[in-house]
Structure 1
């Protein structure tokens, strides 16, 4: 009995040691944006997302006299006496940017807006509309500004955003932040521009990431947080835990029988 207790104690200590080792970490690997001598000079305007083919945009034309905008807003100007605000927003005219980067608008016809920021596209449409409307207003919003966050985060998934100004930290926040097992020094960002995919790495433990041209996300970006070595080792151990425990139990039983 004393021998069994000894082996049981050894097994328990071995298990505790594994758990302690797998949970070890350091401040350097865990804390975001650690203070250093980096001079922060990131300007959002340098990295504003551009309109791309296949983007879906809500475009609404306004003016002092709403009647003159009716031909340009054929859906949003429908009678809506009993419609809720949410339904009315859903009925606002939407347009898909074609493969050539054009949108087909009422009266104006095809207008090329791919490669422009939302603000630049608004100004271009205003100039086109001034031929028909005095002092027109234009509002453009992305309907499909989506980013995906995968890997070692609390709630991985895809998120449709109401604004195109979103940072990688905000995207991680929407996904519930990284788990303690996520590698903060090597976050992968996958971006597609003009049909070509590129991969970029971000070290979120350094303030210099705020100066990165990839700190602000573009539509359809994918953020992937890889697991650290401890998590990878735990996954290997976890798949064999039952086998290890069974073998350990069998050895203790055999030793118990042989030492009686």
Structure 2
């Protein structure tokens, strides 16, 4: 009986060892951006995010004489001296891009900004402000620029980005990187533009991904890392582990009774 029990224990231990090794990948399937002959020509300026409908923009107007900016900054009468930058930004007025791609600014009325980059929108607003203010300054930021990272990563979730420049690798880094169970050759990117969603696939083991138009992310992008087959199989086994162990224990007990 002791011999059979030892064999039973050995079988269980061997099964767990096989499970561990089955989840390990090869170097080719694990390493990011493996060297090849790809010529890297990624330029962020080619893929700068454009303002979209429903974007929320924080806009502040400045000038040499702060008094002339009061009509354009609804909350400018609040004294922000000594406040942290985060609190100061929270006090600044925000504007939502409407269904027609416009924002409505004090004094200026409707200003069409959809399809413009942040810097293009700033220049457009500065031009229109020039009829009221000499040499106006405009500070604009996205207030809803976030990306979501889901699937086989250490810390899945949504992340607010302080600037509009972020790459897929940086987003994965914010999520704690992919686990060893994530498929690096088929990372899914979901993007929505003008209410239409599109799905794109990135192979992060190849350097050519650096040249992809989806290497730089846009607001509200969703990244999904698919689990490999070993992880899927492990999840199936994990759900039935207690049953399997119970059955194995029963079989060993029956055998030990019959062979006394």
Report Cα offsets for 1:36-69 as digits up to 9, x if no partner.
Answer: 1000001111101000011110111111111111
Cα separation, partners in 2 of 1:237 and 1:84, compared to 1, 3 Å: closer
Using the TM superposition, give the Cα deviation of residue 22 of structure 1 relative to its aligned residue in structure 2, in angstroms: 2.0
Given the alignment of the two structures, is residue 45 of structure 1 paired with residue 45 of structure 2, yes or no?
yes
Using the TM superposition, give the Cα deviation of residue 21 of structure 1 relative to its aligned residue in structure 2, in angstroms: 3.5
Give the match's secondary structure for 1:61. strand
> Aligned partners of 1:94 and 1:79: how far apart in 2?
18
> Aligned partners of 1:229 and 1:81: how far apart in 2?
57
> Aligned partners of 1:137 and 1:82: how far apart in 2?
22
Task: Provide the residue aligned with 1:223 in structure 2.
Answer: 223
Moved more, 209-218 or 128-137: 128-137
* Cα contact 1:76–1:88 (8 A) shared by 2: no
Corresponding pairs, count: 260
TM-score normalised to structure 2 length: 0.95
Runs of 4+ in 1 over 6 A off after TM superposition: none
Structure 1: gaps spanning 5 or more residues: none
> Aligned partners of 1:84 and 1:205: how far apart in 2?
41
Task: Provide the residue aligned with 1:176 in structure 2.
Answer: 176
Using the TM superposition, give the Cα deviation of residue 81 of structure 1 relative to its aligned residue in structure 2, in angstroms: 5.9
> Aligned partners of 1:109 and 1:49: how far apart in 2?
24
Task: Provide the residue aligned with 1:8 in structure 2.
Answer: 8
Give the match's secondary structure for 1:77. coil
Matches within 5 A, 1:175-194: 175-194=175-194
Report Cα offsets for 1:2-52 as digits up to 9, x if no partner.
Answer: 541453255135314422442331011111111110000011111010000
Cα separation, partners in 2 of 1:74 and 1:16, compared to 1, 3 Å: closer
Q: Root-mean-square deviation (CA), in Å?
A: 1.6
Report Cα offsets for 1:68-107 as digits up to 9, x if no partner.
Answer: 1111112133244675554332111111110100000011
Matches within 5 A, 1:66-105: 66-80=66-80, 85-105=85-105
Cα separation, partners in 2 of 1:80 and 1:138, compared to 1, 3 Å: closer
Structure 2: gaps spanning 5 or more residues: none
Cα separation, partners in 2 of 1:134 and 1:29, compared to 1, 3 Å: same
* Cα contact 1:7–1:252 (8 A) shared by 2: no
* Cα contact 1:60–1:73 (8 A) shared by 2: yes
TM-score normalised to structure 1 length: 0.95
Give the match's secondary structure for 1:141. strand
> Aligned partners of 2:80 and 2:40: how far apart in 1?
49
Cα separation, partners in 2 of 1:62 and 1:81, compared to 1, 3 Å: closer
